[in-house]
Structure 1
Amino acid sequence: MPDNLDEDLLLKKAILEKAESVLRPAGYKQASVGESSDIVSKELYSFDDKNGTSVCLRPEGTAGITRAIITNKLFNKLPQRIYYYGPMFRHERPQKGQMYGVMHPMADVEVVLLGWKFLRSLKLENLKINSLGDRQSLSDYKRALVKYLESKKDKLSEDSVVRLEKNPLRILDSKSPQDIEILNDAPKLSNYLNDISVKRFEFVKSNLKSLDIPIIQNDNLVRGLDYYDHTVFEIKSVSDELGKSQDTVLAGGRYDHLVGQMGGPAHISGMGWAAGCERLCLLIKNETPEVAKCVSLILVPEQETREDDSSSNEFGVSAHVTAYASKIFSTLLDNGVNVHFSQSTTFGTSNSPTLPTLSKQLGSAVSQGSDFAIIIGSKELDENTLILKNLNDKQQSVLDFDSALKTILSHTPQ
């Protein structure tokens, strides 16, 4: 996994907060993803550990949450609206929202709408949608597709030849030019949907259009795992940042039979989507989220405030000044202000530490990205004031604490 420094983590935190701001008001509750199952074995990174035990890294969380629904008998209280996030070992850290227990196509509309709202809040919109139909429709289409592709097998890419045996629908998503040319004349999935599948898909599309969601129907859109049916969708990026093979940033669909396949009640359906944080971070990396203004607290060394250097405290500043500054520090934190005591480099020794000069501390505050500096010395203590310096426009004022706090908060995003 890549290193994540503060800027990366702030960006991921902002993405997760965006998702939660969409999902929680819609009634979705957070869950932690437990272990998965063999339902997704084709997507696993698996290896034997030093004891010879076979170990697999989870590629996604749908099967794990489905298992949790069954194990905790949550199917007795439906519908269940759940979201979760965490590392998934398909080169992603998905944030995911899922609904269980609603067969009606309005559930499809709700889930697609929430995914679209989430990415729209991140300034990403490019929604493609398709229907795989019910199991019978999909089975009929698979047979027709395999028959056609078998006749072109010698012209398919190596990857597609393998997929032809394991999961032929994935060939529809091939980026290989030779495969794309072959697929131009392949059977169309929409021609194999039965009446109920067509009506269901038209219902979903009609409702999404009524919400002014710009959808694009893509007959070749499928999902990588084979438990999906009916509605599938994805949102792609038009940026060159991700490249063609990694341009999907959010995708999902319906799975009416997964709970039953995993030993739960057969009638419980599911619908959900996942989005990869790493891909989203790449797309919005230049849009670092606005954070609270930062304040540096600067203690003026005694020798810079008194003519008689011999009166200087052995730590460079009196205990009364540090106590005054510490109270200001604590109160700023209580009011949600990002604040720290300014230091540049180590001065003195551990037994005899000293403060950097005022100019050095101001330079350190600027280099650490502070927006304000609060300067406190013996004079400020005596007058119960402080000096507030705006490090952006270089203006400074002598204020009481309440006035300084008001000024700082007026420049801080809430």
Structure 2
Amino acid sequence: MKKVNAVIACLLVVIMLTGCAGVEMNMQVNEDGTCRFAVTYCYQQSLYENMKQEKPADFEQGSKEINGKTYLTFRRELTFSSIEEMKNALENNTAYINALKNGSQAPEQYKEDQYSAPFENVTLTKDTFIGKLRQTNLSSTTQTKQTGNGVTDISSMVNGASGNISMAEYYKMYGVVMDISISLPQPIRESNGQIEGNQAKWTVDNMPADEKLIAVSSDQSIFAGDKEAPVIRGVKNNTATRNPVVVHISDNVCVKDVQINGKSYFVSDFQINKQGKFQIKAIDTNGNSSMVKFTIDRWGPNIYGVKNKKVYRKKVKLSFFDNCGIKYIKVNGKKQKARKKLVIRKKGKNTVIACDKAGNQSKVVFTIK
């Protein structure tokens, strides 16, 4: 079975509009240094049947009730003799595939073009886990798409100043399951997930925006001393544009939450390509925040008081309006400062162009005799 037991990136792409699916990953570090990694893929019955796949080898089949829905489950558990061995499997594609092949009934099914390690940039010790989910594109389910520049376009999920729905709300609506946990030998003191004794857990309700998972059981704090706010790149505050906006958000520790017009999204690199007013707020785990506001506008300014290609026998009084504001006006090729009203007395043919702050233009041509 090829795509069924791939990592999250492959799994979530096949969800689309066909049904409910998800993944559970459980990691455990023991006191003696041995480790365990278990992955469970969950499929609603109709989705599994539509995929027309055979039961994957090496995976234990079962079923479970999640949020009132029954899912078919396929579970595989890998064991490791050392922390370093599991760390390598979590972040290195070759090591991960070799771990899947180890003891497999069908090792030939594990190919590098279909399987990849679930994390990147992993730190793993007895008291610390840090790992960024590898190309999960959580937002690639149902209502989003990937752009040519490799970021997620979330335009269909944001509706200008109102009408947004959060990523978590989308996932719950479509029955997407996301459950990741790490257990350390000692009680966890600090995490950007939910702490339950020795375990930290991440679900669709608390997934960090940059998908960087952190859990620490030592006394040394990662979050407490952090006073740096996240950095938002790709758009300037209080600007207007007619082009798609590609946003990149980063933080020295972790981008915990990205809010777009007040709703949370599991994205730190994304594109918005629709008209509207947008407010992006990025918050790290220690509460430091940054914010930008911008407008995407593709309509030219309104020009009142004159009609295109009409002839007038007296002076013409024009007025201008645009939601983004007027940047400049051109009268017969000469640029003028922005203004709300303008009187033209020149006889003959006149051309007036108004440009807004997003770069959109409107033009009228008329004659005064």
**TM-score for both structures, normalised by structure 1:** 0.24
Q: TM-score, normalised by structure 2?
A: 0.26
Select the structure that is richer in helix.
1
Higher relative contact order (CA 8 A, sep 6+): 1
Q: If each structure's strand is expressed as a fraction of its own residues, which one has the higher value?
A: 2
